[in-house]
Structure 1
Amino acid sequence: MNLLDRFNQDIKQAMKDKDKLKLSVIRMVKSSLQNEAIKLGKELTEDDSLTVLNRELKQRKDSLHEFEKANRDDLASKLRDEIAILEVYMPEQLSEDNLSEIVKQTIAEVGASSKADMGKVMGAIMPKVKGKADGGLVNRLVQQHLS
């Protein structure tokens, strides 16, 4: 079942459960998926859908950070709930150990030896871990292994 079908199914369930927050979040993300499909002019692949879902999740995490900095606990609490809802649809995240192994393999594949090769390594590794790891964590691990 693709992501859009899963969203449609979960929208129906959220309506039955009268879960307004979940319904709202899923509708927003579904709308983003449909807008992306229109923008690209084709039906979205699972990879495209994952990219949109990642973007939505990142926006919420960034907003959460800003709300926490401004001591807006009311808004931060709502965003934490939204993030929890979205994370259900994300693929299982890689552990730091697994990610570290992938980083080591990728560094060997591209023949990187210094921080100057950071762009080559990141360009090669991100498609491999798309949706399964946070970009910031990947960046940190690559820097560690290249120094």
Structure 2
Amino acid sequence: MSLLDRIQRDTKEALKARDRDRVSALRMLSAALENRRIELGRELGEGEELAVLRKQLKQREESAEAFRRAGREDRAAAEGAEAEVIRSYLPAPLSREELERVADQAVQESGAESMRDMGAAMRRAMELAGERASGRELSEAVKECLQRSS
């Protein structure tokens, strides 16, 4: 079952439960996935679906922060609630310890010895982490590992 199918099934359940906030968030996700499918002119792969969800999550987190800075806690809470719905469809992120292990393994397997080899280590780290870590998180972990080894 694709992610879009799961979201559409969950939307029906939320409608039956009269959970308006969840319905709204799920419809937003469905629309984002459908728009991306139309944009590409083909069905989305799992990685592409997850990329759409990560983009939506980032937008909600940034919006919530902007609302907090503006003193609009009610809107920040609404954005935060939507972010939680999105998170429920994403794979569990790697813990700090798992990130460090991935970075260590990537550095070893790529033969990276200094910051000049960062690209090779990052490519391997991205492969090892899959969809469970952002490039920013992996980059920080790989940099720390390279700095410790040099």
User: Which one-letter code corresponds to 2:8 in the other structure?
Assistant: N
Whole-Å Cα distance in 2 between the matches of residues 46 and 57 of structure 1? 16
Corresponding residue number in structure 2 for 1:21: 21
Tell me the TM-score normalised to structure 1 length: 0.89
- CA shift at 1:82, angstroms? 0.7
Task: Map Cα deviations across residues 112-147 of structure 1 (whole Å, 9 max, x no partner).
Answer: 222233333223322432431243322221121111
Task: Map Cα deviations across residues 48-104 of structure 1 (whole Å, 9 max, x no partner).
Answer: 111111111111112222222333211111111111111111112222111211111
- Report SS of the residue matched to 1:112: coil
How many residue pairs were aligned? 147
Tell me the TM-score normalised to structure 2 length: 0.88
Whole-Å Cα distance in 1 between the matches of residues 75 and 116 of structure 2? 41
CA spacing shift, 1:98–1:113, aligned 2, 3 Å: same
**Is the contact between residue 50 and residue 90 of structure 1 (CA under 8 Å) also seen in structure 2?**
yes
CA spacing shift, 1:101–1:89, aligned 2, 3 Å: same
**% identity of equivalent residues:** 37
**Is the contact between residue 93 and residue 132 of structure 1 (CA under 8 Å) also seen in structure 2?**
yes
- CA shift at 1:7, angstroms? 0.7
Gaps of 5+ in 1: none
**Is the contact between residue 67 and residue 73 of structure 2 (CA under 8 Å) also seen in structure 1?**
yes
- Report SS of the residue matched to 1:125: helix
